[in-house]
Structure 1
Amino acid sequence: MSNATAVDGGVRKGKLGQRIAYACGNLGQSAFYNAMSTYFVVYVTSCLFSGVDKALAAKLIGVITSLVVIIRIAEIFIDPLLGNIVDNTTTKWGRFRPWQFIGGAVSAVLLAIVFSGMFGLVNVNTTLFIVLFVITFVVLDVFYSLRDISYWGMIPALSSDSHERSTYTSLGSFTGSIGYNGITIVVIPIVTYFSYMFTGKHAESQSGWTAFGIIVMLLGILTAWTVAFGTKESTSALRAKAQKNGNPLEAFKALFQNDQLLWVALSYLLYAIANVATTGVLLFLFKFVLDNPAAYSATGVIALVAGLIMAPLYPILNKRIPRRYLYIGGMISMIVAYVLLGLFSTNIVVVFIALVLFYVPGTLIQMTAILSLTDSIEYGQLKNGKRNEAVTLSVRPMLDKIGGALSNGITGFIAVAAGMTGSATAADMTPANIHTFEVCAFYVPLVLIVLSLLVFTFKVKISEKMHAEIVEQLEAKLTAGEVSDEEAKTVETVEAVNEKAKTLTE
C-alpha cells in the first residue's frame, strides 16, 4: 500500500514539475513576441534614428518597417517546412526539446543585437546597417519560429491523455498572458530607468532600449532552457506513426484542402491584425494624444489581470456556453471598445473603460480559435483521409507572424503619417495628426474585427457537437475497416473503440 502511494505521489510530482517547466516556456516566448511585434517598431520610430537628419530618418523608418513586413510575410511560407523539420528531428533528447534549446538561445541573442542598433552601426553606416539588419532579422525570425512551433507541437509528445493535453494548453496560455502583458507593464519603466542611468536624462535613449533588449534576451533563454531541461517527451506508437506523416508538399496541400481550417484561420487572422495593430500604437495614444505616457503601464495591468482571470475561467464558461457564442460575445465587446476609443480618445477615463472591453475578451477569442483549429485536424482527416497534426499546429504561429508583420508596417506608417516620430511631443500634434491616428489605430481595425466576426459566424461550422460527430464517423470507418489504422488511430478513436469493446465484454 505504501509503495503504491509512493509511486502515485512520484507520478503526480513528476507531472507537476513538468507542467511548471512547460508553462515557464511561454512566459519568455510571449514576452519575446510582444517585444518584437510591438516595441521593436516603437523603438525604431522613436529612438533608433534619433541621431539622423529628420527627413532621412523618416525614409529609413519607412525602409525598416517595409523590410520587416516583407521578410515576415515571406517567412510565413517557411513555417510548415520548419514544422516538417521539427517532426523529422531524431535525437536522444527527443524531437522538440533540442529546438527549445537552440531556437530559444539564438533568437534571444539576436533580439538583443537588434535592439542595440546593431551595436551602434546605425550611426556609422546606414547602408551596411540595413544589409546586416535584414540578415539578422531573417535568422532571428526562423529560430523564433522553430522555438514557437516546437513549443506548441510538444504537447502531444508530453502526454497522450486528452485532459492532460488541455491542461498544458491552458498553462501555456496562462503564462503567455503574463509574459505578453508583463512586457507592456515594464517596458517604459525599464527604458526610462536605464536611459537615466546612462545619460542622466528622463527620456528614451538607445542605452535604455538596449537594456530592454538584454532583459528580454535573458528571460527568453532562461524560459526556453527550462522547457528543454525540465520536460521529457513520451514515446508511443501514435507518435511513431505521426513521424511518417507527410512531406513539405503534402504539408501545404493539407492546409488548402481543409476548408474549416482555412475559415477559422482567416477569422483569427483578421482579429490578430486588428488586435496587434492597435496594441502596437497604444503607447502613441498615451504619449501624443493624452500627453500622459506614465499612465501607459496601466494598459499592461489591465491586459494582465484580464488574462489571469479569463484563462482559468474559459473552461468553466465553456461547460455552460458553446465556444461559438464566447467568440461572438468577445467580438461584440471589442467592437464597443473600438467605438469608444475612436470617439473619446482624449478622455482618459473612457479610454481605460474601452481598454477593459478590449482586453477581457482576448482570451475567449484566442482559446476558441486554437481549439477550433485543433478540431479541424479530425475534420481534415475525415474529409481527406489523412491526419496532419504538425502542419495544422503550425498554422497558428503562421497567423501570429502575419499579424505581427502587418502590425510592424501599420505602426511605422501611423507614426510617420501622424507625425509621431523622433522628438515630437503631444504639443506638436495638430487636430489632423490626431484624426489620422484615430482612423488608422481604431477605425480600420474596427472594420477588420467586424469582418472577422462575419467570417466566423457564417463560414466556421466546426463546433463541439460537430467535432463529436466527426469522431464518431471516424470511429465507425475504423471499425468497418474503411480507414486504415495508420491514418485513423487518433487518441479519440482509440479511446472510443476501447470503450465500446469494454462495454461489449461487460
Structure 2
Amino acid sequence: MNQKLSVMEKVGYSLGDLSANLVFQTLMTYLAYFYTDVYGLAPEVATPVIFTVGMVAAFAFNPIIGALADRTYTRWGKFRPWVLFTAIPLSLAALMAFTTPDFDEKGKVIYAIVTYAVLLFLYAANNLPYAALSGVITGDMGERNSLSSYRFVAVMVAQFSVQALMYPMIEYLGNGNKAAGFSQVMIYLAIIGAVLMLITFFTTRERIVPTREQSSSLGQDLKDLSRNRPWLIMLVSTILVFITLAMKGGTYLYYFENYVSKDALSSFLGTFGVHNSENPAATGFSIFNGLGIIFMITGITFSKRFADKYGKRDTFKASLFLSTLPVLLFYVFPPESVWLIFLAQVIHGLFYGISTPLLWAMIADVADYSEWKNNRRATAIIFSAMMVGLKAGLTLGQTFITGLLDFFHYVPNAVQSGETVQGIKLTVSIFAAIPFLLATGLLFFYEIDKKMEVRIENDLKLRRTGVARDTPAAPDAPTHQ
C-alpha cells in the first residue's frame, strides 16, 4: 500500500490537533487562573482539585482508553471511530468546565471536580486515539516527519488563538465580567472544535493494519512496554516537558498582572500602535504570547530539515536545551525591562518551535521500535502511556502553580506582597526551567538515533511486504516460537 500522504490528508489530520489544542491550551494557560481569580476557589482548594482529578485521569483514564482502542475493530479502522464519536461530547465538556455556576462554595467544588473529570476522560477518549492514528496513517518516516510539521503548525494556530486572542475576547465579551466572558468564548471554541475534529475523521484513513499474528494480550503489551527503554525515557521526558510548559504558560498571566510595570508596558504597547489600553497587563500578555507563537511557527519550519539530517533525538535534545536558557532570564529581568522580557520570549519560541513537531513523531518511532523488537504492534497503548505523561505533566505543572501561590500567600484580585511577587518570579523562571533541563539530560540515554531510525524503517517495510531477511534479529529481541 502506498504510504505517501496527500496535502489534503495532512491538513485534515492536523485540524484534529487544532481542535484538541483549543481545549488543551486553555487548560494549560488558564486553568489555575480561572479557578483562583474567576471561579472563586482559594489556591489551597484549587490545588487538591487539580491534582487529584488530573492524576486519576492520567493513570486510570489513559491506560483504559489505550487498551480499548488497540482492541477496536470497525470498518473505519481502530482509531478513527473514537475521533468521530467523541468530537461533540468533548466540546460540550470543555464548555461546562469553564462555566461558573451560581452555587455555594461546596457546590462549586463538586461542580469543578465533576466537570474537570468528565473533560479529562473525554479528552483521553478523543486525543489518545487521534495521536495513535499518526502511527498507523503511514509507516514512512519522512512522511511522518512531514505530517508532524503540519500537525504542529495547527497546534501553533490553536495556541495563538488561545494565548494571544482569548483573554482580550474574554474581557470584551464579558464586558468586565470574566466569568461570563469565559463562558461566551468557550461556546465559540466548542463549535469550532467539534467541526474540525469531524473533518479529521472524514479526510484520513488507516494504512497500517496489524496482522492476526501480531495480536497480543494486555498483559503482554504491558510486559513489552516495561522492557522498552526508549518508551520509558520518552514517558519521563514527556512528563518533564509538560511540567515546564504548564508552569511557565500558567504563570505568565500572574507575572504580567503582578510584576511587570504597567507604565513600562503602556509605553511598550505604544510601539505597536496600542495607546491608552484599559488593561495593559492583559494586552501585553496577549502580544507577548502572540510573538512567542509566531516564532515557534518559524522554528517549526526548520524542524523537518534538522530531523532529516541529524535525527529526531539530537534535534529535540539541542532545541530543548537552547529554549531553556531564555526562560531562566525571567528571574533577573527588572519589571521595567519590557523589551528584554519580550525578546527572551521570542528567542525561547524560536528554539522550542524546532522541538515541537518531534515529540509525537518520536513516540510513533517508539511504537515502530516495539514492533521491530517484539513482532507485535501495540500503537494505542504506547501512545496512551505518553498521554499519561502529558496529563501527569500538565497536572503537576498546574498543581505546582496553585501550590506555590498558596505557599507564597497569593491573594486573588489584590495587590500582592513582595514575597508573593518573588514567588511568581521563581515559578515562571527557575522552577519552570528545571524540568526542561532534566529532560535534556535524559535524552542522552535515548537510543533511537538517526542510524537506528533508518534501520527500523527499512526492516519493518520488508516485514510488512513479506520479504524475508537474513540479517540478525533486533538486539535483545525475545525469541518467538
Post-superposition offset of 1:471: 5.8
Post-superposition offset of 1:191: 0.7
Pair 1:178–1:492, CA change in 2 (3 A): farther
Post-superposition offset of 1:32: 1.0
| Letter of the structure 2 residue corresponding to residue 40 of structure 1 | L
- Which of 197, 203, 213 is residue 186 of structure 2 equivalent to? 213
| Letter of the structure 2 residue corresponding to residue 296 of structure 1 | F
Aligned: 1:70 with 2:52: yes
Name whichever of 392-401 and 14-23 sits farther off: 14-23
Pair 1:65–1:439, CA change in 2 (3 A): same
Post-superposition offset of 1:401: 0.9
Larger helix proportion of the pair: 1
Post-superposition offset of 1:232: 3.8
Question: Which residue in the other structure is 2:64 paired with?
Answer: 81
Residue by residue, what CA displacement relative to the aligned partner does 1:206-261 show, whole Å, maximum 9, x if unpaired?
A: 11111122222122211111112333445xxx514279633333333332221121
- Whether the 8 Å CA contact 1:254–1:391 is kept in 2: the answer is no
2:77 counterpart SS class? coil
Post-superposition offset of 1:148: 0.6
Residue by residue, what CA displacement relative to the aligned partner does 1:132-177 show, whole Å, maximum 9, x if unpaired?
A: 4323322221111111112122234434555444433321122112
Aligned: 1:302 with 2:281: no
- Separation in 2 of the partners of 1:492 and 1:422? 61
2:330 counterpart SS class? helix
- Whether the 8 Å CA contact 1:338–1:442 is kept in 2: the answer is yes
- Whether the 8 Å CA contact 2:148–2:361 is kept in 1: the answer is no
- Whether the 8 Å CA contact 1:80–1:251 is kept in 2: the answer is no
Post-superposition offset of 1:27: 1.0
Structure 2: runs of 5+ lacking an equivalent: 263-279, 471-481
Q: Please list, as runs of the form range in 1=range in 2, the aligned pairs for 1:166-205 lying within 5 A after superposition.
A: 166-196=145-175, 203-205=176-178
Residue by residue, what CA displacement relative to the aligned partner does 1:373-412 show, whole Å, maximum 9, x if unpaired?
A: 3333344345555443222222332221111111221222
Post-superposition offset of 1:337: 0.8
Question: Which residue in the other structure is 1:327 paired with?
Answer: 316
Pair 1:250–1:67, CA change in 2 (3 A): farther
- Whether the 8 Å CA contact 1:284–1:420 is kept in 2: the answer is no
- Separation in 2 of the partners of 1:36 and 1:329? 28
Pair 1:470–1:195, CA change in 2 (3 A): closer
Aligned: 1:441 with 2:441: no
Name whichever of 381-390 and 146-155 sits farther off: 381-390
Question: Which residue in the other structure is 1:278 paired with?
Answer: 248
Aligned: 1:226 with 2:196: no
| Letter of the structure 1 residue corresponding to residue 180 of structure 2 | S
- Whether the 8 Å CA contact 2:300–2:355 is kept in 1: the answer is no
1:64 counterpart SS class? helix
Pair 1:41–1:438, CA change in 2 (3 A): same
- Which of 43, 46, 49 is residue 34 of structure 2 equivalent to? 43
| Letter of the structure 1 residue corresponding to residue 448 of structure 2 | I
TM-score by length of 2: 0.84
Identity across the alignment (%) = 16
| Letter of the structure 2 residue corresponding to residue 271 of structure 1 | V
- Whether the 8 Å CA contact 2:330–2:429 is kept in 1: the answer is yes
- Which of 194, 218, 221 is residue 248 of structure 1 equivalent to? 218
Aligned: 1:32 with 2:18: no
TM-score by length of 1: 0.80
Post-superposition offset of 1:284: 1.1
- Which of 361, 367, 375 is residue 365 of structure 2 equivalent to? 375
| Letter of the structure 2 residue corresponding to residue 21 of structure 1 | G
- Separation in 2 of the partners of 1:92 and 1:494? 21
- Whether the 8 Å CA contact 2:19–2:193 is kept in 1: the answer is yes
- Separation in 2 of the partners of 1:376 and 1:31? 27
Question: Which residue in the other structure is 2:88 paired with?
Answer: 105
Pair 1:389–1:99, CA change in 2 (3 A): closer
- Whether the 8 Å CA contact 1:158–1:232 is kept in 2: the answer is yes
RMSD after superposition: 2.9
Aligned residue pair count: 448
Pair 1:245–1:357, CA change in 2 (3 A): farther
1:342 counterpart SS class? coil
- Which of 104, 109, 120 is residue 130 of structure 1 equivalent to? 109
Aligned: 1:316 with 2:301: no
Pair 1:23–1:446, CA change in 2 (3 A): closer
Pair 1:344–1:204, CA change in 2 (3 A): farther
Q: Which has the larger radius of gyration?
A: 1
1:422 counterpart SS class? coil
- Separation in 2 of the partners of 1:308 and 1:359? 8
Pair 1:101–1:383, CA change in 2 (3 A): closer
- Which of 223, 228, 233 is residue 258 of structure 1 equivalent to? 228
- Separation in 2 of the partners of 1:209 and 1:499? 59
Post-superposition offset of 1:103: 1.7
1:461 counterpart SS class? coil
- Whether the 8 Å CA contact 1:174–1:308 is kept in 2: the answer is yes
Pair 1:17–1:336, CA change in 2 (3 A): closer
Post-superposition offset of 1:423: 2.0
Question: Which residue in the other structure is 1:354 paired with?
Answer: 344
Structure 1: runs of 5+ lacking an equivalent: 1-7, 50-56, 197-202, 476-489, 501-506
- Separation in 2 of the partners of 1:388 and 1:131? 37
Question: Which residue in the other structure is 2:450 paired with?
Answer: 464
Residue by residue, what CA displacement relative to the aligned partner does 1:56-106 show, whole Å, maximum 9, x if unpaired?
A: x42xx4223312211221222231321221222233433323221222211
2:325 counterpart SS class? helix
- Separation in 1 of the partners of 2:361 and 2:456? 15
- Separation in 2 of the partners of 1:242 and 1:208? 52
Post-superposition offset of 1:184: 0.2
Pair 1:467–1:167, CA change in 2 (3 A): closer
